[in-house]
Structure 1
Protein backbone atom coordinates (compact mmCIF):
# COMPACT_ATOMS: atom_id res chain seq x y z
CA UNK A 1 0.00 0.00 0.00
CA UNK A 2 3.01 2.30 0.23
CA UNK A 3 3.01 4.75 -2.63
CA UNK A 4 -0.80 4.75 -3.05
CA UNK A 5 -2.64 8.04 -2.84
CA UNK A 6 -3.70 8.49 0.78
CA UNK A 7 -7.49 7.88 0.88
CA UNK A 8 -8.01 9.00 4.49
CA UNK A 9 -8.64 12.67 3.80
CA UNK A 10 -6.12 13.64 6.46
CA UNK A 11 -6.53 17.31 7.35
CA UNK A 12 -4.84 19.72 9.75
CA UNK A 13 -6.01 23.03 11.15
CA UNK A 14 -4.34 25.46 13.55
CA UNK A 15 -4.61 24.85 17.26
CA UNK A 16 -5.25 27.59 19.84
CA UNK A 17 -2.10 29.57 20.46
CA UNK A 18 -0.22 29.56 23.73
CA UNK A 19 -0.91 25.94 24.72
CA UNK A 20 2.14 24.36 23.10
CA UNK A 21 -0.04 22.75 20.44
CA UNK A 22 0.96 22.49 16.78
CA UNK A 23 -2.34 21.55 15.14
CA UNK A 24 -5.62 19.70 15.31
CA UNK A 25 -5.98 16.90 12.78
CA UNK A 26 -8.64 14.56 11.49
CA UNK A 27 -8.35 11.34 9.51
CA UNK A 28 -11.04 8.95 8.29
CA UNK A 29 -11.26 6.02 5.91
CA UNK A 30 -14.67 6.00 4.18
CA UNK A 31 -16.96 3.07 4.93
CA UNK A 32 -17.15 2.49 1.20
CA UNK A 33 -13.38 1.91 0.98
CA UNK A 34 -12.57 -1.36 -0.79
CA UNK A 35 -9.91 -2.38 1.72
CA UNK A 36 -8.01 -1.29 4.83
CA UNK A 37 -5.27 1.30 4.51
CA UNK A 38 -1.89 1.42 6.25
CA UNK A 39 -1.05 4.97 7.28
CA UNK A 40 2.69 5.55 7.52
CA UNK A 41 3.45 7.39 10.78
CA UNK A 42 7.07 8.56 11.04
CA UNK A 43 9.12 10.35 13.73
CA UNK A 44 8.65 14.11 13.93
CA UNK A 45 9.69 14.97 17.50
CA UNK A 46 6.04 15.42 18.50
CA UNK A 47 3.55 13.75 20.82
CA UNK A 48 -0.06 13.35 19.66
CA UNK A 49 -3.24 12.75 21.64
CA UNK A 50 -6.10 11.34 19.59
CA UNK A 51 -9.58 9.88 19.84
CA UNK A 52 -10.38 6.70 17.92
CA UNK A 53 -14.05 6.26 17.04
CA UNK A 54 -13.59 2.50 16.55
CA UNK A 55 -12.14 2.03 20.05
CA UNK A 56 -14.15 4.81 21.67
CA UNK A 57 -10.99 5.81 23.51
CA UNK A 58 -8.35 8.53 23.62
CA UNK A 59 -4.70 7.55 23.19
CA UNK A 60 -1.31 9.20 23.60
CA UNK A 61 1.07 8.53 20.70
CA UNK A 62 4.82 8.92 20.59
CA UNK A 63 7.42 10.23 20.57
CA UNK A 64 8.51 7.76 17.91
CA UNK A 65 12.04 6.72 17.04
CA UNK A 66 11.07 4.72 13.95
CA UNK A 67 8.15 4.05 11.61
CA UNK A 68 4.87 3.10 13.27
CA UNK A 69 2.39 1.90 10.61
CA UNK A 70 -1.23 2.44 11.61
CA UNK A 71 -3.97 0.21 10.19
CA UNK A 72 -7.19 1.98 9.27
CA UNK A 73 -10.31 -0.10 8.59
CA UNK A 74 -13.20 1.14 6.45
CA UNK A 75 -15.28 3.50 8.58
CA UNK A 76 -12.47 4.39 11.00
CA UNK A 77 -12.34 8.01 12.15
CA UNK A 78 -9.77 9.81 14.29
CA UNK A 79 -9.52 13.30 15.78
CA UNK A 80 -6.16 14.29 17.20
CA UNK A 81 -4.12 17.10 18.71
CA UNK A 82 -0.39 17.41 18.08
CA UNK A 83 1.96 19.03 20.56
CA UNK A 84 4.89 21.08 19.39
CA UNK A 85 8.20 19.27 19.95
CA UNK A 86 9.30 19.35 23.57
CA UNK A 87 6.02 20.66 25.04
CA UNK A 88 3.85 17.62 25.80
CA UNK A 89 5.26 16.37 29.09
CA UNK A 90 4.27 19.34 31.21
CA UNK A 91 0.64 19.17 30.01
CA UNK A 92 0.20 15.39 30.06
CA UNK A 93 2.04 15.16 33.38
CA UNK A 94 4.07 12.19 32.17
CA UNK A 95 7.70 12.11 30.99
CA UNK A 96 7.72 11.72 27.19
CA UNK A 97 10.19 8.86 27.57
CA UNK A 98 7.47 6.89 29.36
CA UNK A 99 5.37 6.80 26.17
CA UNK A 100 8.21 6.59 23.65
CA UNK A 101 7.35 4.34 20.68
CA UNK A 102 4.01 3.51 22.32
CA UNK A 103 0.28 4.11 22.01
CA UNK A 104 -1.05 4.46 25.55
CA UNK A 105 -4.69 4.97 26.62
CA UNK A 106 -5.02 8.46 28.11
CA UNK A 107 -7.05 6.89 30.93
CA UNK A 108 -3.82 5.20 32.10
CA UNK A 109 -2.46 8.71 32.73
CA UNK A 110 -5.55 10.77 33.61
CA UNK A 111 -7.94 8.15 34.96
CA UNK A 112 -11.56 9.30 35.23
CA UNK A 113 -10.80 12.64 33.55
CA UNK A 114 -9.93 10.80 30.33
CA UNK A 115 -13.00 8.58 30.60
CA UNK A 116 -15.23 11.67 30.79
CA UNK A 117 -13.69 12.91 27.54
CA UNK A 118 -14.36 9.58 25.86
CA UNK A 119 -18.02 9.61 26.86
CA UNK A 120 -18.70 13.23 25.93
CA UNK A 121 -20.90 14.05 22.96
CA UNK A 122 -17.95 15.48 21.03
CA UNK A 123 -14.70 13.81 22.21
CA UNK A 124 -12.52 15.78 19.79
CA UNK A 125 -13.77 19.15 21.04
CA UNK A 126 -13.67 17.98 24.67
CA UNK A 127 -10.10 16.77 24.22
CA UNK A 128 -8.97 20.13 22.86
CA UNK A 129 -10.65 22.00 25.69
CA UNK A 130 -9.07 19.74 28.30
CA UNK A 131 -5.57 20.11 26.86
CA UNK A 132 -5.85 23.90 26.61
CA UNK A 133 -7.09 24.09 30.21
CA UNK A 134 -4.30 21.87 31.49
CA UNK A 135 -1.71 23.83 29.53
CA UNK A 136 -2.88 27.03 31.20
CA UNK A 137 -2.22 25.59 34.66
CA UNK A 138 0.87 23.53 33.80
CA UNK A 139 4.43 24.54 34.73
CA UNK A 140 6.15 26.73 32.13
CA UNK A 141 8.10 24.90 29.41
CA UNK A 142 11.84 24.43 29.76
CA UNK A 143 13.31 27.68 28.33
CA UNK A 144 16.13 25.65 26.80
CA UNK A 145 13.79 23.91 24.34
CA UNK A 146 13.27 26.94 22.09
CA UNK A 147 16.98 27.23 21.40
CA UNK A 148 17.77 23.54 21.49
CA UNK A 149 15.94 22.60 18.31
CA UNK A 150 17.74 25.03 15.95
CA UNK A 151 21.05 24.42 17.73
CA UNK A 152 20.89 20.64 17.28
CA UNK A 153 19.48 20.95 13.76
CA UNK A 154 22.61 22.76 12.58
CA UNK A 155 25.45 21.48 14.73
CA UNK A 156 26.86 18.83 17.03
CA UNK A 157 25.82 18.25 20.64
CA UNK A 158 29.11 19.79 21.77
CA UNK A 159 28.55 22.88 19.64
CA UNK A 160 24.94 23.20 20.82
CA UNK A 161 26.15 23.02 24.43
CA UNK A 162 28.71 25.77 23.79
CA UNK A 163 26.22 27.97 21.94
CA UNK A 164 23.58 27.61 24.65
CA UNK A 165 25.96 27.85 27.60
CA UNK A 166 25.27 24.42 29.06
CA UNK A 167 27.34 21.29 29.59
CA UNK A 168 26.81 18.33 27.26
CA UNK A 169 25.50 16.38 30.23
CA UNK A 170 22.86 19.04 30.89
CA UNK A 171 21.90 19.07 27.21
CA UNK A 172 21.44 15.29 27.23
CA UNK A 173 19.37 15.30 30.42
CA UNK A 174 17.09 18.15 29.39
CA UNK A 175 16.64 16.80 25.87
CA UNK A 176 15.53 13.49 27.34
CA UNK A 177 13.17 15.27 29.75
CA UNK A 178 11.58 17.40 27.02
CA UNK A 179 11.54 15.10 23.99
CA UNK A 180 11.68 11.57 25.40
CA UNK A 181 15.01 10.69 23.80
CA UNK A 182 18.57 12.00 23.67
CA UNK A 183 20.06 14.76 21.53
CA UNK A 184 21.55 12.40 18.94
CA UNK A 185 18.14 10.88 18.24
CA UNK A 186 16.57 14.34 18.14
CA UNK A 187 19.20 15.40 15.58
CA UNK A 188 18.36 12.40 13.40
CA UNK A 189 14.64 13.15 13.56
CA UNK A 190 15.12 16.86 12.75
CA UNK A 191 17.39 16.03 9.82
CA UNK A 192 14.96 13.39 8.55
CA UNK A 193 12.03 15.79 8.69
CA UNK A 194 14.03 18.42 6.81
CA UNK A 195 14.82 15.85 4.12
CA UNK A 196 11.11 15.02 3.78
CA UNK A 197 10.15 18.68 3.46
CA UNK A 198 12.75 19.24 0.75
CA UNK A 199 11.87 16.06 -1.15
CA UNK A 200 8.18 16.99 -1.14
CA UNK A 201 8.98 20.26 -2.91
CA UNK A 202 10.67 18.33 -5.73
CA UNK A 203 14.24 19.06 -4.64
CA UNK A 204 16.68 16.61 -6.28
CA UNK A 205 17.94 14.01 -3.83
CA UNK A 206 21.56 15.15 -4.29
CA UNK A 207 20.53 18.60 -3.12
CA UNK A 208 18.45 17.13 -0.29
CA UNK A 209 21.54 15.27 0.88
CA UNK A 210 23.61 18.43 1.15
CA UNK A 211 20.90 20.75 2.48
CA UNK A 212 19.74 18.35 5.19
CA UNK A 213 23.27 17.62 6.36
CA UNK A 214 23.81 14.00 5.30
CA UNK A 215 27.30 12.74 4.49
CA UNK A 216 26.22 11.36 1.11
CA UNK A 217 23.19 9.86 -0.65
CA UNK A 218 23.88 6.43 0.83
CA UNK A 219 23.68 7.96 4.29
CA UNK A 220 20.43 9.73 3.32
CA UNK A 221 18.88 6.54 1.95
CA UNK A 222 19.86 4.53 5.02
CA UNK A 223 18.48 7.08 7.49
CA UNK A 224 15.21 7.51 5.61
CA UNK A 225 14.65 3.75 5.57
CA UNK A 226 15.55 3.47 9.27
CA UNK A 227 13.26 6.30 10.38
CA UNK A 228 10.59 6.20 7.68
CA UNK A 229 10.44 2.54 6.75
CA UNK A 230 10.47 3.28 3.00
CA UNK A 231 12.62 4.94 0.29
CA UNK A 232 12.57 8.73 0.15
CA UNK A 233 10.71 8.72 -3.17
CA UNK A 234 7.60 7.23 -1.56
CA UNK A 235 7.20 10.32 0.65
CA UNK A 236 6.78 12.71 -2.29
Structure 2
Protein backbone atom coordinates (compact mmCIF):
# COMPACT_ATOMS: atom_id res chain seq x y z
CA UNK A 1 0.00 0.00 0.00
CA UNK A 2 1.25 3.46 -0.90
CA UNK A 3 -0.56 6.67 0.10
CA UNK A 4 0.31 10.34 -0.46
CA UNK A 5 -1.37 13.19 1.41
CA UNK A 6 -0.92 16.98 1.20
CA UNK A 7 0.88 18.90 3.96
CA UNK A 8 -0.72 21.76 5.82
CA UNK A 9 -1.23 24.77 3.61
CA UNK A 10 1.50 26.97 5.11
CA UNK A 11 4.15 24.34 4.24
CA UNK A 12 2.86 23.53 0.76
CA UNK A 13 5.47 25.76 -0.88
CA UNK A 14 8.28 23.55 0.43
CA UNK A 15 6.70 20.15 1.01
CA UNK A 16 5.18 18.27 -1.93
CA UNK A 17 3.49 15.62 0.19
CA UNK A 18 3.80 13.28 3.11
CA UNK A 19 3.56 9.60 2.28
CA UNK A 20 3.40 6.12 3.69
CA UNK A 21 4.33 2.82 2.10
CA UNK A 22 3.58 -0.52 3.73
CA UNK A 23 5.01 -3.62 2.06
CA UNK A 24 2.42 -6.39 1.83
CA UNK A 25 5.01 -8.88 0.49
CA UNK A 26 8.74 -9.09 -0.15
CA UNK A 27 9.60 -7.12 -3.27
CA UNK A 28 12.01 -4.59 -4.76
CA UNK A 29 10.72 -1.04 -5.16
CA UNK A 30 12.25 0.90 -8.04
CA UNK A 31 12.88 4.52 -7.05
CA UNK A 32 13.61 6.79 -10.03
CA UNK A 33 14.97 10.36 -10.17
CA UNK A 34 12.39 13.10 -9.53
CA UNK A 35 14.53 16.07 -8.35
CA UNK A 36 13.01 15.68 -4.87
CA UNK A 37 14.63 14.94 -1.51
CA UNK A 38 12.83 12.83 1.10
CA UNK A 39 13.18 12.63 4.86
CA UNK A 40 12.12 9.06 5.63
CA UNK A 41 11.38 7.07 8.76
CA UNK A 42 12.02 3.39 7.98
CA UNK A 43 12.48 0.15 9.90
CA UNK A 44 16.09 1.12 10.72
CA UNK A 45 15.30 4.70 11.75
CA UNK A 46 15.17 8.09 10.00
CA UNK A 47 17.31 8.76 6.92
CA UNK A 48 17.57 11.14 3.97
CA UNK A 49 17.10 10.00 0.36
CA UNK A 50 18.23 11.73 -2.79
CA UNK A 51 18.44 13.70 -4.96
CA UNK A 52 18.99 10.82 -7.36
CA UNK A 53 20.49 10.78 -10.83
CA UNK A 54 19.71 7.14 -11.60
CA UNK A 55 17.59 4.19 -10.47
CA UNK A 56 17.64 3.16 -6.82
CA UNK A 57 16.18 -0.36 -6.38
CA UNK A 58 15.07 -0.71 -2.75
CA UNK A 59 14.44 -4.12 -1.18
CA UNK A 60 11.37 -4.22 1.05
CA UNK A 61 10.22 -7.00 3.37
CA UNK A 62 6.61 -7.86 4.09
CA UNK A 63 5.37 -5.59 6.89
CA UNK A 64 8.01 -2.88 6.40
CA UNK A 65 6.56 0.60 6.88
CA UNK A 66 8.13 3.77 5.52
CA UNK A 67 6.83 7.28 6.31
CA UNK A 68 8.27 10.23 4.40
CA UNK A 69 8.27 13.98 3.95
CA UNK A 70 8.94 14.80 0.29
CA UNK A 71 10.42 18.23 -0.40
CA UNK A 72 9.54 20.03 -3.61
CA UNK A 73 12.40 20.34 -6.11
CA UNK A 74 14.58 23.27 -5.10
CA UNK A 75 12.81 23.73 -1.73
CA UNK A 76 15.21 21.95 0.66
CA UNK A 77 17.43 24.98 1.23
CA UNK A 78 19.71 24.55 4.25
CA UNK A 79 17.27 22.24 6.05
CA UNK A 80 19.80 19.41 6.47
CA UNK A 81 22.74 21.66 7.30
CA UNK A 82 25.01 20.82 4.35
CA UNK A 83 25.23 21.45 0.57
CA UNK A 84 22.55 19.48 -1.22
CA UNK A 85 24.92 18.06 -3.83
CA UNK A 86 26.65 16.16 -1.00
CA UNK A 87 23.47 14.10 -0.65
CA UNK A 88 23.24 13.29 -4.36
CA UNK A 89 22.60 9.57 -4.97
CA UNK A 90 22.94 8.91 -1.24
CA UNK A 91 20.87 7.31 1.53
CA UNK A 92 22.22 8.84 4.73
CA UNK A 93 21.09 8.15 8.32
CA UNK A 94 19.80 11.35 9.85
CA UNK A 95 22.15 10.87 12.81
CA UNK A 96 25.13 11.21 10.42
CA UNK A 97 24.08 14.72 9.33
CA UNK A 98 24.45 18.07 11.09
CA UNK A 99 20.68 18.09 11.52
CA UNK A 100 19.67 20.44 14.35
CA UNK A 101 16.76 18.34 15.65
CA UNK A 102 18.47 16.07 18.15
CA UNK A 103 15.57 13.66 18.67
CA UNK A 104 13.30 13.56 15.60
CA UNK A 105 9.94 11.87 16.13
CA UNK A 106 9.72 8.13 15.67
CA UNK A 107 7.45 6.28 13.29
CA UNK A 108 4.69 7.15 12.61
CA UNK A 109 5.52 10.88 12.69
CA UNK A 110 2.28 12.22 11.20
CA UNK A 111 -1.28 12.87 12.24
CA UNK A 112 -4.23 14.25 10.32
CA UNK A 113 -4.33 18.02 10.77
CA UNK A 114 -6.96 19.04 13.30
CA UNK A 115 -7.59 15.43 14.34
CA UNK A 116 -5.44 14.62 17.40
CA UNK A 117 -5.30 10.92 18.01
CA UNK A 118 -6.76 10.06 14.62
CA UNK A 119 -5.07 7.43 12.45
CA UNK A 120 -2.25 9.21 10.60
CA UNK A 121 -3.27 7.96 7.16
CA UNK A 122 -6.69 7.00 5.84
CA UNK A 123 -7.28 4.10 3.50
CA UNK A 124 -5.90 4.66 0.01
CA UNK A 125 -9.43 5.32 -1.31
CA UNK A 126 -10.43 7.55 1.62
CA UNK A 127 -10.44 11.34 1.96
CA UNK A 128 -7.19 13.29 1.79
CA UNK A 129 -7.02 15.77 4.66
CA UNK A 130 -3.87 17.83 5.15
CA UNK A 131 -1.33 16.13 7.37
CA UNK A 132 0.31 17.81 10.36
CA UNK A 133 4.10 17.58 10.32
CA UNK A 134 5.71 17.02 13.77
CA UNK A 135 6.43 20.22 15.69
CA UNK A 136 10.28 19.96 15.71
CA UNK A 137 10.36 19.42 11.95
CA UNK A 138 7.78 22.15 11.33
CA UNK A 139 9.74 24.67 13.42
CA UNK A 140 12.94 23.89 11.56
CA UNK A 141 11.17 24.23 8.21
CA UNK A 142 9.93 27.66 9.23
CA UNK A 143 13.37 28.73 10.48
CA UNK A 144 15.43 27.33 7.58
CA UNK A 145 14.34 29.95 5.09
CA UNK A 146 17.46 30.05 2.92
CA UNK A 147 15.77 28.77 -0.22
CA UNK A 148 16.88 30.35 -3.51
CA UNK A 149 13.86 32.35 -4.78
CA UNK A 150 15.03 31.66 -8.35
CA UNK A 151 14.78 27.87 -7.93
CA UNK A 152 11.16 27.51 -9.17
CA UNK A 153 11.92 29.67 -12.23
CA UNK A 154 15.04 27.62 -13.00
CA UNK A 155 13.12 24.34 -12.87
CA UNK A 156 10.15 25.71 -14.84
CA UNK A 157 12.33 27.11 -17.62
CA UNK A 158 14.36 23.91 -17.96
CA UNK A 159 11.14 21.86 -17.93
CA UNK A 160 9.93 23.88 -20.91
CA UNK A 161 13.04 22.94 -22.86
CA UNK A 162 14.95 26.21 -22.57
CA UNK A 163 18.69 25.77 -22.96
CA UNK A 164 21.03 26.40 -20.04
CA UNK A 165 22.30 29.56 -21.76
CA UNK A 166 18.76 30.82 -22.33
CA UNK A 167 17.75 30.19 -18.73
CA UNK A 168 20.83 32.01 -17.45
CA UNK A 169 20.12 34.95 -19.75
CA UNK A 170 16.44 35.11 -18.75
CA UNK A 171 17.37 35.21 -15.05
CA UNK A 172 20.20 37.69 -15.47
CA UNK A 173 22.84 35.16 -14.45
CA UNK A 174 26.06 33.92 -15.97
CA UNK A 175 26.11 30.22 -16.82
CA UNK A 176 28.61 29.71 -13.99
CA UNK A 177 26.23 31.40 -11.52
CA UNK A 178 23.36 29.26 -12.77
CA UNK A 179 25.50 26.14 -12.33
CA UNK A 180 26.34 27.09 -8.75
CA UNK A 181 22.77 27.96 -7.81
CA UNK A 182 21.37 24.83 -9.45
CA UNK A 183 23.78 22.62 -7.50
CA UNK A 184 22.87 24.39 -4.25
CA UNK A 185 19.10 24.25 -4.82
CA UNK A 186 18.65 20.87 -6.51
CA UNK A 187 21.90 18.96 -6.00
CA UNK A 188 22.22 18.77 -9.81
CA UNK A 189 23.93 20.73 -12.54
CA UNK A 190 21.38 22.44 -14.83
CA UNK A 191 21.68 19.91 -17.68
CA UNK A 192 21.07 17.01 -15.28
CA UNK A 193 18.12 18.83 -13.74
CA UNK A 194 16.69 19.43 -17.21
CA UNK A 195 16.98 15.74 -18.10
CA UNK A 196 15.23 14.70 -14.88
CA UNK A 197 12.33 17.18 -15.02
CA UNK A 198 11.77 16.27 -18.68
CA UNK A 199 11.77 12.57 -17.76
CA UNK A 200 9.25 13.17 -14.97
CA UNK A 201 6.98 15.08 -17.34
CA UNK A 202 7.15 12.22 -19.84
CA UNK A 203 6.37 9.72 -17.08
CA UNK A 204 3.27 11.66 -15.98
CA UNK A 205 2.02 11.80 -19.57
CA UNK A 206 2.63 8.09 -20.16
CA UNK A 207 0.83 7.16 -16.93
CA UNK A 208 -2.10 9.28 -18.11
CA UNK A 209 -2.38 7.06 -21.19
CA UNK A 210 -0.77 9.37 -23.76
CA UNK A 211 0.85 7.38 -26.65
CA UNK A 212 4.64 7.34 -26.42
CA UNK A 213 5.17 9.09 -29.74
CA UNK A 214 3.04 11.98 -28.48
CA UNK A 215 4.77 11.85 -25.08
CA UNK A 216 8.13 12.35 -26.79
CA UNK A 217 7.00 15.43 -28.70
CA UNK A 218 5.10 17.00 -25.79
CA UNK A 219 7.88 16.46 -23.25
CA UNK A 220 10.54 17.93 -25.52
CA UNK A 221 12.44 14.89 -26.82
CA UNK A 222 13.83 14.79 -30.33
CA UNK A 223 11.87 11.63 -31.10
CA UNK A 224 10.58 8.44 -29.48
CA UNK A 225 14.00 6.80 -29.64
CA UNK A 226 15.47 9.71 -27.69
CA UNK A 227 12.70 9.27 -25.10
CA UNK A 228 13.36 5.54 -24.80
CA UNK A 229 17.11 6.06 -24.42
CA UNK A 230 16.69 8.70 -21.70
CA UNK A 231 14.12 6.67 -19.79
CA UNK A 232 16.40 3.62 -19.79
CA UNK A 233 19.39 5.71 -18.71
CA UNK A 234 17.54 7.34 -15.79
CA UNK A 235 15.44 4.41 -14.60
CA UNK A 236 17.23 1.28 -15.83
CA UNK A 237 13.99 -0.09 -17.32
CA UNK A 238 11.79 0.69 -20.34
CA UNK A 239 8.82 3.02 -19.99
CA UNK A 240 6.22 0.24 -19.91
CA UNK A 241 7.75 -1.04 -16.65
CA UNK A 242 7.43 2.41 -15.08
CA UNK A 243 3.83 2.81 -16.18
CA UNK A 244 2.90 -0.38 -14.35
CA UNK A 245 0.93 0.60 -11.20
CA UNK A 246 2.98 -1.72 -9.01
CA UNK A 247 6.28 0.08 -9.58
CA UNK A 248 8.08 -3.13 -8.66
CA UNK A 249 10.94 -5.14 -10.10
CA UNK A 250 10.63 -8.86 -10.62
TM range (shorter): 0.7 to 0.9
TM-superposed CA distance for 1:18, in Å, is 3.6
Q: Which residue of 2 aligns with 1:106?
A: 94
Instruction: Let me know the Cα RMSD of the aligned residues.
Output: 1.8
**Separation in structure 1 between the aligned mates of residue 100 and residue 82 of structure 2, nearest angstrom:** 16
Question: Is 1:91–1:131's contact at 8 Å kept on the other side of the alignment?
Answer: no
Q: Offset of 1:117 from its aligned partner?
A: 2.2
Deviation per CA, 1:50-95: give whole Å up to 9, x if none.
Answer: 001x21x100000000000111101100100000101113222221
Instruction: Tell me how many residue pairs correspond in the alignment.
Output: 220
Contact 1:151–1:163 (Cα < 8 Å) also in 2: no
Specify which of 42, 48, 52 is matched with residue 60 of structure 1.
Answer: 48
- Aligned match of 1:135 in 130, 137, 141? 141
Q: Which residue of 1 aligns with 2:173?
A: 166
Corresponding residue number in structure 1 for 2:158: 152
1:40 is paired with a residue of what secondary structure? strand
Using a 3 Å threshold, how does the CA distance of structure 1 residues 221 and 111 change in structure 2: closer, same or farther?
closer
Residues 18 and 167 (structure 1 numbering): CA distance in 2 closer, same or farther, change over 3 Å?
Answer: farther
Aligned to 1:117: 104
| Equivalent residue in structure 1 for 2:15, among 14, 21, 33 | 21
Counterparts of 2:149 and 2:89, CA distance in 1: 25
Separation (CA, whole Å) in 2 of partners of 1:103 and 1:192: 22
Name stretches of at least 5 consecutive residues in structure 1 with no aligned partner.
1-8
> 1:58, 1:160 → 2: CA distance?
36
Query: What is the Cα deviation at residue 46 of structure 1?
Result: 0.4
Q: Secondary structure at the match of 2:151?
A: helix
Q: Is the 8 A contact 1:80 1:124 kept in 2?
A: no
Structure 1 position 218, deviation (Å): 1.3
C-alpha displacement at 1:138, in angstroms?
1.3
Q: Which residue of 2 aligns with 1:97?
A: 85
8 Å contact from structure 1 (residues 29, 73) kept in 2: yes
Structure 2 portions without partners, runs of 5+: 112-131, 244-250
Q: Give the match's secondary structure for 1:140.
A: coil
- SS of 2:67's partner is strand
CA–CA distance in structure 2, aligned partners of residues 197 and 47 of structure 1: 19
Instruction: Find the counterpart in structure 1 of residue 246 from structure 2.
Output: none
The TM-score normalised by the length of structure 1 is 0.87
What is the distance in 2 between the residues matched to 1:29 and 1:130? Answer: 28
- Does the 8 A contact of 1:21 with 1:82 survive in 2? yes
2:69 aligned to 49, 62, 81, which one?
Answer: 81
Stretch of structure 1 that moved more, 20-29 or 137-146: 137-146
Deviations 1:182-233 (A, max 9, x none): 0000000000000000000111111011011111111111100111111111
- Structure 1 residue 121: deviation in Å? 7.1
